[in-house]
Amino acid sequence: MKVDYRLTAPIRLHARFEIRGFTALLGRSGAGKTSLLKALAGLLPATGSPWQGMAPEARPVGYLPQGAALFPHLTALGNVAYPLRAKTRHGQARALLAELGIEALAARPAAALSGGEAQRVALARALACNPEILLLDEPSAALDAATRDQLVLWLIDTATARGLPALAATHDPALAGLADWLVLLADGAVIQEGAPRDVIDNPGSAAAAALLGYQNIWEQDGATFAIRAEDVTISGAGMPATVISARHQGRQLRLDCALPRPVTVLADAGAAGELAAGAKVFLGFPEGRLKRIG
């Protein structure tokens, strides 16, 4: 599916891109991801294709907003049945919950569901009307790491099993890496799209590299370079640098260094030893990990 939408409020945005399978729309907070999804759902005024001029209720979309937005006074079953109108709607809703493996939640009040459970029920509600596409707004937000990973994989598997394209707005590079297609949104436009591995390994601009989690980005000799903090090496040879600060980050040691330009390094805490502020180190930038942009 090709998307070409223009918005003027609440943010000025022109987004042209493709949706292929489970597609991640990656951008920082405030970049316009939520506004674009609302425009596609018909909840914000916009021009473009598809569905321009169609009323929200006529658009073939299933929309999962941030935070699930379930009706708190209804049960999980009641929430899923809500968009259905047939006399058999509760039977249809129960069958859908069973198909998704969450029938056990049917009688539970929405207010009593955990974050991950609420997202699963919200997806069932979005699927109830047999949409042609899913719009997922920050589906992994506000969830702990373990629940987030399980939920994201479940969402992808569910959409894939149904042959249903999906557009998931996110600021999480980890989710983006699991998608079939990746779209980067910044500065009011799509700045890059492609297969996640290609985009992640070959950022097309400094803005793209920053979105994709490259902590070290600098200009040199008319070109821009980027490298991830975990790809910078510390050894007996390389470019001399001074440690400005050192702190443990889980099993790793995070070093903020001066080269004299700032460089962030994530090293194995055991291999790096006990480095402290003021220590002299030699930093390496392995070929293949250092990306030249432009």
Q: What is the pLDDT of residues 7-22, one digit of tens each?
A: 999 999 999 999 999 9
Per-residue confidence (pLDDT) for residue 26, from 0 to 100? 97
pLDDT-derived band at 85 (thresholds 50, 70, 90) equals confident
Q: Convert the pLDDT of each residue in 136-155 to its tens digit.
A: 999 877 677 777 888 888 88
Mean pLDDT calculated for residue range 215-230 = 94
Instruction: Give strand pairing partners of 265.
Output: 255
Helices (H), 128-161: 145-161
- 273: pLDDT confidence band, cut at 50, 70 and 90? low
Q: From 3.30.70.3270, 2.40.50.140, 3.30.390.10, 1.20.1250.20, which CATH number describes the 214-293 domain?
A: 2.40.50.140
If DSSP states are collapsed to H, E and C, what string results for 100-135? CCCHHHCCCEHHHCCHHHHHHHHHHHHHCCCCCEEE
User: What pLDDT is attached to residue 31?
Assistant: 95
pLDDT of residue 174: 84
Task: Give pLDDT, residue 223.
Answer: 92
d(CA 216, CA 236): 21
Residue 292: pLDDT band with limits 50, 70, 90 = very high
Peptide bond into 50 cis (omega under 30): yes
Mean pLDDT computed over 41-63 = 94
214-293 matches 2-206 in CATH topology: no
- The predicted model gives 36-51 an average pLDDT of 96
Flag whether pLDDT at 46 surpasses 90.
yes
Q: Label residue 77 by pLDDT band (50, 70, 90).
A: very high
Q: Helix (H, G, I), strand (E, B), or coil: what is residue 257?
A: strand
Of residues 273 and 90, more confidence is placed in: 90
- 1: CB partners within 8 A, 6+ apart: 18, 19, 50, 133, 165
Write out the CATH class of domain 2-206.
alpha beta
Determine contact, residues 235/272, Cβ cutoff 8 Å: no
Per-residue pLDDT averaged across 243-256, rounded?
A: 91
Q: Which residues contact 56 (CB under 8 A, 6 or more apart)?
A: 41, 42, 43
Average pLDDT over residues 1-10: 96
Residues near 162 by beta carbon (within 8 Å), at least 6 away in sequence:
127
Domain extent listing, the chain: 2-206, 214-293
- Cα–Cα dist 292/94, whole Å: 53
Does this model's pTM top 0.85? My answer is yes
Q: Give the pLDDT score at 271.
A: 62
Query: What is the band of 102 on the pLDDT scale with cuts at 50, 70, 90?
Result: very high
Q: Which residues contact 188 (CB under 8 A, 6 or more apart)?
A: 11, 12, 13, 14, 32
